[in-house]
Amino acid sequence: MKTAIPELRKNRIMEKVPAEEIHQRLKKFQTALATHNFDGAFLFQNVDIFYFSGTIQSSILFIPTQGDPVLMVQKGFQRVKEECPLKNIIAVNGKSHLPGTLHDFGIRRIERVGIEMDVLPAQLYLWLAETFPQCGFVDVSGLIRKQRMIKSLYELDQIRKAATILHQGYMEIQGFIKEGVSELEIDGRLGFIARREGHMGILRMRGWNQEMTYAHVLSGESGSVVSFLNSPHGGSGNTPAMAQGAGFRRIRKNEPIGIDYGVGINGYLADQFRTFVIGDLPPDLERAHRCSRDIHDLFAREAKPGVPCPDLYAMAKEFARSAGLSDCFMGHGEGQVRFIGHGIGLEIDEFPVIAPNFEEKLTQGMVMAFEPKFVFPGKGVVGMEDDYLVTSSGVERLTLTEQVLIKVKP
């Protein structure tokens, strides 16, 4: 099970998003705005602003359909000037200055304007409607998310760096896992490794009321505890205030240790799950783990540009059904989820979604985490999750850890 660990970065410095990358994104988005008859779009959400400007300082970004965007900075103006390649950057004292600021930059007539309705607070929407009574506000979230669904070479490079760190963590943690060690201790060690190698510290999610830690360490029955998280597994956590991930439980022999591990580099995420065991798994769980590997193999053969996401979901679900594992596939009972893969990038719940109701077809440049898992009530979770890039002819696995059940020496 020896896999070469790529050389990790040395003498690292803080990296900025290349100016050309930002300009290409803006050009593509402005084309989409024009196609849908928008006059422009207001962006308020941190991640969307970062994607189009290279900074996450407190700002409001207006992107006109034609001409230069305007970034109105509420806090961190000097840092924005250092990080952001946009031409029109101005400090403002609160959002009340939006109409006058746009007017000063020659933006005087806007009527059909896009906003991020999937994440925008209702109070802010009502303020916009009152402040710009001439505007009809339309949801532009779909256009943004579909553009971000296709990754550039720069974005792929960041995801590959994150995947390298994940692999480093999975290799190192094998020497730390022992009987009697708590889930929280393993979680902390994974966090130490990730931060040491450059992990930005958080994983971002777009979904309402969805939060994600950088790791789930779930041993034995912990792996079958249902949580609020839109995931086949959740875990109890160590408090109802978080209600997911590692808890106080200590590792035992001959039971699954499921580790879901995420790392972010320069904003971009990689996401991976592996099953560990000290000793041997019970036969039913080991069989389910083999089924997870078989579903990965099937996905690697069948996934290619033009294949509809619902077809891939149905294929995996049928494979699990034919193996007699439907009841525990992607969760159990009320914890069962209706997807088997999700896009990753700046957020961990990006498009595409390998789900029955996501009608998009695979397209070259998509990156997704594919995660066939099995959750056994009272016993735990087993399976594997890996990140894949859709290429011109199929998929390429970006995560590096060998696709096996990882047996830790006592």
pLDDT computed for residue 2 by the predictor: 42
Element (H, E) at 396: strand 395-397
Burial of 161 (0-12, 13-18, 19+ CB in 10 A): buried
Question: What does the DSSP assignment read for 133-171?
Answer: TTPEEEE-HHHHHHHHHBPPHHHHHHHHHHHHHHHHHHH
3-state DSSP call for residue 99? helix
Give the Cβ contact number of residue 351 at 10 Å: 20
- Identify the pLDDT of residue 10: 58
User: What is the rounded CA–CA span in Å between residue 60 and residue 175?
Assistant: 47
Structure confidence at residue 172 (pLDDT): 98
Specify the pairing of strand 386-390 against strand 367-370: antiparallel
- The tokens for 143 are 């256009």
The span from the CA of 69 to the CA of 96, in Å, is: 18
- pLDDT of res. 134: 94
20-390-33-52 Cα dihedral, nearest 10 degrees:
-40
| Average pLDDT per 10 consecutive residues for the chain, totaling 410 residues | 47 89 98 98 98 97 97 97 97 91 93 97 96 96 98 98 98 97 98 97 94 94 94 93 95 98 98 98 98 98 98 98 98 96 98 97 98 98 98 98 95
- Among 302, 308, 227, smallest CA distance to 260 is for 227
C-alpha 9, offset from chain centre: 22
Domains defined along the chain, listed by start: 19-147 (3.40.350.10), 150-408 (3.90.230.10)
Host H or E run for residue 218:
strand 215-219
Distance, in Å, from the CA atom of 332 to the CA atom of 296, rounded to the nearest integer, reads 20
